[in-house]
Chain A
Amino acid sequence: MNVKLRGPITALASIITLVVLWFVVTLFVSDRSLPSPFEVASAFAVEFKSGELFYHLGVTLIRVLAAFFVAMLIGSAIGILLGMDAGINRFVEPWLILLLNIPALVIIVLAYIWFGLNEAAAIGAVALNKIPNVIITLREGARSLDPAYAELATVYKFSWWKRLRHVVLPQLQPFFAAATRSGISLIWKIVLVVELLGRSNGVGFQIYLYFQLFDVATILAYTLAFVFVMLMVEYFVLQPVERVSTRWRP
């Protein structure tokens, strides 16, 4: 077998096996709460044709991206600062531990109460759940910066921007990659909760709607559709970006 295709072919075979197993189980357990792959596919087709699926997937995706960028921007700025300044870090550390241990649900409920049932509160609450993780990852990154490169930048009088772009950020790349990987999946799960509690569109809202109707097939159709979207983001955005940014590694 072609070595390059071995990965995708194995992955495909694995997914097909899972679907077949699912189908076999539904042959024996005939229950409305466990629809077969065909029922899920037809629920998917209904939502697809009405345009509902695209609309709600799109809304959720935009919320995921907005929360992701807000969390990465704020979290990495604070994380890098804390990694470079031990004094500020000692002071901020208790806040960080507090924030890390507040359940996502509490942050969401409080955000809606304090800032109203609006988009900013929704995205802010999701970002706030992710920010402490980003801070901790990037703080480790900033602590591991090699002083030899900082000296190089000083001797050759690098400007602030040149130093950030060519010396600091490339060293932090693995930490950004780690924060992104762990972040994007965490964020989409929390976005669904935010939508369920206080939004009138998005995958979370739809799942809540079909939960009240006990329509498991449509719930699974939405879930799998969004998992598929995230898979595409992984293969066509995250992995290519990572390949480009690590091509200097031998």
Chain B
Amino acid sequence: MLDVNIIDRTFTSADGTKLKAVENLKFQLPQDSFTCIVGPSGCGKTTTLRMILGLDTDYDGEIVKSGNGVVSAVFQEPRLLPWRTVEQNIRLALPPTKKNMPLESLYEPLGLTPVKNFYPAELSLGLARRAAIARAFALTPELLVLDEPFVSLDDDTADRLRELLITVWEANPTTALMVTHNVREAAMLADHILLFSDRPAEVVATLAIDTPRAQRDDAEISAIVQRIRESR
């Protein structure tokens, strides 16, 4: 579970101009839910994720993570260390006590078994993203944060990766929070959708999507997209 209550995050540029990125942002993520944040570009979505990940601590407010506090992230770029192989990259993310755990159950569904000894530069962007997803799930996080993990992929590859993400997430349930500007993507993946306002970011609406993912065909997804558009 995650409880976010950010009162204020203001950036000060080099010439002293102040820019309020986030104001009075409040939301909670239920245990093992899959929540998507949808909002206009530049509205403070990534800033919010950075605060949740502990990469940005310069804010007023409170972010409470329950449980053991293990957080993992899938960034916009795969962000694999180029000088380590796929397997080494994944194992490096593991805590020392788990560093020799078997990873086959993650490689298999993600199709990484044949490339686990490859260096990231030898992978396509789609495969590198799969490796980043495997790394994020490997340490069984309490909270999984995804920052537009499927940008700059062609539609077919992105669709296949979304299906894979859900498959792996259902096998390794955890609280997931994903930022996207793609409304259709949110409609396919989420069980909760948070709609963000323009900067400074606050939550405009919270939608619960009750249709099981397996039953979301094109018509159903279009209906959800319609609901998101009407809630803005």
Contacts and interface: CB of A to CB of B under 8 A. Distances in A.
Contacts of A152: 75, 79, 81
A170 B55 contact: no
Nearest to B84: A166
B92 A248 contact: no
A162 B84 contact: no
Interface string B211-229: 0000000000000000000
Contacts of A90: none
A154 B77 CA distance: 16
Q: Which of A158, A166, A167, A248 has the most B CB atoms < 10 Å from its CB?
A: A248
Contacts of A3: none
Given A151-B55, A154-B55, A170 B72 contact: no
Q: Which of A154, A155, A167, A170 has the most B CB atoms < 10 Å from its CB?
A: A155
Given A249-B121, A250-B121, A155 B72 contact: yes
Contact of B92 (A155, A162, A249): A162
Given A151-B55, A250-B122, A156 B79 contact: no
A156 B90 CA distance: 10
A248 B55 contact: no
Q: Which of B73, B82, B83 has the most A CB atoms < 10 Å from its CB?
A: B83
B203 interface: no
Nearest to B50: A151
A159 B122 CA distance: 28
Interface string A107-135: 00000000000000000000000000000
Interface string B112-143: 00000001111000000000000100010000
Q: Which of B93, B120, B121 has the most A CB atoms < 10 Å from its CB?
A: B93
Interface residues of B, number: 23
Contacts of A167: 81
B43 interface: no
Interface in B88-123: 92-93, 95-96, 119-122
A151 B54 CA distance: 9
Contacts of B83: 170, 173, 245, 248
Contacts of B71: 155
B25 interface: no
A29 to B, nearest CB: 54
In the A-B complex, the 9 residue pairs with the smallest Cβ-Cβ separation, listed nearest first, are A170-B83, A248-B119, A250-B121, A156-B93, A248-B83, A155-B73, A152-B79, A151-B55, A155-B53
A149 interface: yes
B81 A148 contact: no
A243 interface: no
Given A149-B81, A151-B53, A155-B53, 6 more contacts: A151-B75, A152-B75, A156-B93, A248-B84, A248-B121, A250-B122
Nearest to A156: B93
Interface string B183-225: 0000000000000000000000000000000000000000000
Contacts of B93: 156
Nearest to B96: A159
Given A155-B72, A155-B73, A156-B72, A166 B54 contact: no
24 contacts: A148-B75, A149-B79, A151-B53, A151-B55, A151-B75, A152-B79, A152-B81, A154-B53, A154-B54, A155-B55, A155-B71, A156-B72, A156-B92, A156-B93, A156-B135, A156-B139, A158-B92, A166-B84, A166-B92, A167-B81, A248-B119, A248-B121, A249-B82, A249-B121
Nearest to A158: B92
